[in-house]
Amino acid sequence: MDILNIDPRVLAVQIGGFLLLLVVFKLFLFKPIVSILEARQQEIESRYRDAEERQQVAERLRAEYERHLATIEELMHTKIAEAIKEGQAMRDEIIASARAKAEDILARAEEQIQREKEKAVYELRGLVADLTITVASKLLEEQLDESKHRRLVDRFIEDLDSQITRSREPSGGDV
Amino acid sequence: MEHGHGGSGGLEHGTWLHWLYHYRILPDWLPEVVPETFLVVIVLSAIVILARPRLTVRNPGKLQTFLEFCVVSLDSFVRGIVGDEAKSLTPIIGTFFIFILCLNLLGLVPGLTSPTANINTPASLAIVAFCIVQYYGIRKQGFINYLKHFAGEPLILAPLMFPIHVIGELARPLSLTIRLFGNIFGEDMVIAILILIVTSVLGKLLIPLQFPMLIFAIFTSFVQSLVFSMLVTIYVTVAISGHEEHH
């Protein structure tokens, strides 16, 4: 012991120093670091699980959205086709209505023209009769009975009309 | 390169901790390696105690990353030798490794010596290691089985084998002590002699001859702490498995 300079008191103190460090290391280094590493590992595992779950949810949602999108597209196509059909029907209806209105307006215009024409003819006839009477009275210098004279002129004009009509019929022309 | 005080025969103090004796804070019989050892214990304890509240699961700092690296490396080192028993053994072996490494490296600090260059320090560590090995062996096998393991086979040779095994068991702490002490003491002596050559022989030519040896000492400090830790781990493995390390 003396040769090697070993002192039991020094040994005891040095052992005490080592054991003290061992306790400190165990309490403040190894235990906390190991628990932190385990906690980190658990966190990583749980995050990985969460990520997987989220990915699955995302996949499911994507499939759902795609299905919805397909349904919406189908619906959209149907609606567009319906709208086109409806539009075409409306267009046809509008055209038909416009055409009917135009025909109606045309018919009415023709009718009015006819009426105006008849009226004009009638007025012309009266004017011609008056002129004829005036001319005839002046020529004959004879005063005829007014009403008698008018009947005579009307008959003459009617005869004239019928003669004109007859004369035009063989040629097939319009009035 | 002074080792010991009082008990070593009144050699002069050569470290920065001499004032502890000068002011009679420490008794004379205590060698200076003891306050040096406790300096290491205090510094290491302070580092881990101060680091403890800052340890976080997320975003570890540089110190925590380094501590995690140390713990994980030591755990894988011990687990590689001893297996599942590593959970309880890693703190012990890890403390051995870090403590011995720091004690060895302390000798490279100017004004301080390696506490492991004093035989009391490796001897105390070897005694602790011996006790740990016996504890693990008895805990794993039971006291009777552990003693039977000393008797060997066949049982008729027990009177011969038992003392041999006991001597073998006692030789382990002795070999641990001498190996660590011899290497570190020798290394410190080489550095001291080289410094002596520089100061006395070369005179005014202050060439740092000891510098390559200082670099090499870092390596040997690491190797010696690793060897000590590894041997203790192997001894524990042998004790808990109940077989001798013939192979």
CB B143 within 8 A of CB B245: no
Q: 3-state DSSP call for residue B243?
A: coil
Alpha-carbon gap, residue B223 to B226, rounded angstroms? 5
Q: ipTM of the assembly?
A: 0.89
In a domain, A3, yes or no: no
Q: Which segment of A41-50, A116-125, A147-156 scores lowest on mean pLDDT? A: A147-156
A21 → closest Cβ in B4, B44, B124: B44
Q: Rg for chain B (alpha carbons), in Å?
A: 21
d(CA B101, CA B222): 6
- A1 part of a folded domain: no
Does B81 reach chain A within 8 Å, measured CB to CB? no
Domain that holds residue A126: 8-170
CB within 8 Å: B29 and A37: no
Residue in B closest to A24 by C-alpha: B45
- Global pTM reads 0.71
What residue in B sits closest to A19 (Cα-Cα)? B128
Considering only CB atoms, which residues of chain A are within 8 Å of chain B?
4-7, 9-15, 17-22, 24-26, 28-34, 36-37, 39-40, 43
Tell me the pLDDT of chain B (247 aa) as tens digits.
343 444 443 344 478 888 888 888 888 888 889 999 999 999 999 999 999 998 898 888 899 999 999 999 999 999 999 988 888 999 999 999 999 999 999 988 988 989 999 999 999 999 999 999 999 999 988 888 888 888 877 778 888 888 998 999 999 999 999 999 999 999 989 988 988 888 887 777 778 888 899 999 999 999 999 999 999 999 999 988 865 544 3
| Cα atoms in the Cβ-side hemisphere of radius 13 Å centred on B232 | 33
Within 8 A of B125 by CB-CB distance, chain A residues are: 14, 18
Helix axis angle for B33-51 and B120-141, nearest 10°, is 60
- What is the percentage of chain A residues whose pLDDT exceeds 70? 90
**Residue A141, pLDDT score:** 64
The closest of B233, B81, B51, B223 to A30, measured between CA atoms, is B51
Q: A-chain residues within 8 Å CB-CB of B7?
A: 5, 7, 10
Segment holding A173, helix H or strand E:
none
Look up tokens 């120093």; give the residue. Answer: A17
Chain A residue nearest residue B60, CA to CA = A36
- A133 part of a folded domain: yes
**Alpha carbon of B115: minimum distance to chain A alpha carbons (Å):** 10
Whether A26 and B67 lie within 8 Å, measured CB to CB? no
Mutate to test the interface with B, among A19, A20, A28 (most CBs of B within 10 A): A28
CA A29, CA A19: separation in Å to the nearest integer? 14
CB B188 within 8 A of CB B107: yes
Please answer yes or no on whether B95 and A37 come within 8 Å at the CB atom: no
Query: Mutate which of A4, A10, A37, A40 to test chain B, going by most B C-beta atoms within 10 A?
Result: A10
Q: Does B45 lie at the interface with A, CB-CB under 8 angstroms? A: yes
Give the closest residue to B80 by CA, choosing from B243, B193, B226.
B226
Total number of domains constituting chain A: 1
Which is nearest to A158 in space by CA: A121, A117, A111, A131? A121
Q: Which residues of B touch A13 (CB under 8 A)?
A: 30, 34
pLDDT digit string, tens, across residues B110-142: 889 899 999 999 999 999 999 999 999 999 888
> Which helix (DSSP H) or strand (DSSP E) does residue B154 occupy?
none
CA distance B15 to B131: 32
- Domain membership of residue A2 (yes or no) is no
How far is it, in rounded angstroms, from Cα A59 to Cα B20?
72
Instruction: Note whether residue A175 is domain-resident.
Output: no
Using a CB-CB distance cutoff of 8 angstroms, which residues of chain A are in contact with residue B38? 17
The answer to whether B150 touches B163, Cβ cutoff 8 Å, is: no
- Judged by a CB distance cut-off of 8 A, whether residue B51 touches chain A is yes
Q: In angstroms, what separates the C-alpha of A56 from chain B's closest C-alpha?
A: 26
| DSSP code of residue B83 | G
